[in-house]
Chains A and B, each alone.
Chain A
Amino acid sequence: QVQLVESGGGVVQPGRSLRLSCAASGFTFSSYGMHWVRQAPGKGLEWVAVISYDGSNKYYADFVKGRFTISRDNSKDTLYLQMNSLRAEDTAVYYCAKDSLIFGVVSTRGNDYWGQGTLVTVSS
């Protein structure tokens, strides 16, 4: 069965960095685009970034451009999110989510599997 397990969250001071990981299993990881989506406490979902199945294309929400970097290691079936210059408003549960469309260029079919999320708290 498909499993996505995030890790790496925690408490970090403003301006510092953190790297999240998402270990995938139960499907051919290298065939699907992957997303990061976040949810601030008590708030709605917010799309953060997407990476293509082969890692050649990466796209970001405006509010993280230049600060966050999405990457993947298909040999390890693992997705990453490097977060730099963190701000208090980045405090959220971060989910990794699998794209539904195999070898998709654009994510047209939504995200069919999600991890349980990892909490990032940015506070001094």
Chain B
Amino acid sequence: QSALTQPPSASGSPGQSVTISCTGTNSDVGGYNYVSWYQQHPGKAPKLMIYEVRKRPSGVPDRFSGSKSGNTASLTVSGLQAEDEADYYCSSYAGSNNYVFGTGTKVTVL
């Protein structure tokens, strides 16, 4: 199972929006609405930000939103804040009880 493809980096100024893409195949992202997004600060464990493509767990700000079109899922962070600077990973169900993560995107707040 190959990792989902994410851009290595993305950036934006405070208050701006940044969108991260996550490209897979018909066997994972395109085949199921089971895409999750995680935020990871350096030296810390990942934190769930989005599940089932667009749903936010309790406590996650509504500045974070998810979507999907075909084999590509996206995470948008609106109103960027300094604390949003982190690595972001997508994840998808890939069938037969297998799961795959994305390659990761480092978001920098300029």
Contacts and interface: CB of A to CB of B under 8 A. Distances in A.
Contacts of A115: 45
A111 B47 CA distance: 8
Provide the main secondary structure of the chain B interface.
strand
Nearest to A93: B45
Interface residue range, chain A: 20 to 34
Contact of B52 (A46, A95, A109): A109
A50 B99 contact: yes
B104 A116 contact: no
Interface residue range, chain B: 20 to 34
A82 B91 CA distance: 24
Interface in B63-110: 89, 91, 93, 96-104
Name the 6 nearest CB pairs between A and B, nearest first: A110-B36, A114-B45, A59-B97, A110-B51, A44-B104, A47-B99
Interface of A: 35, 37, 44-47, 50, 57, 59, 61-62, 95, 97, 100, 106-112, 114-117
Interface of B: 1, 3, 34, 36, 38, 40, 45-48, 50-52, 55, 57, 89, 91, 93, 96-104
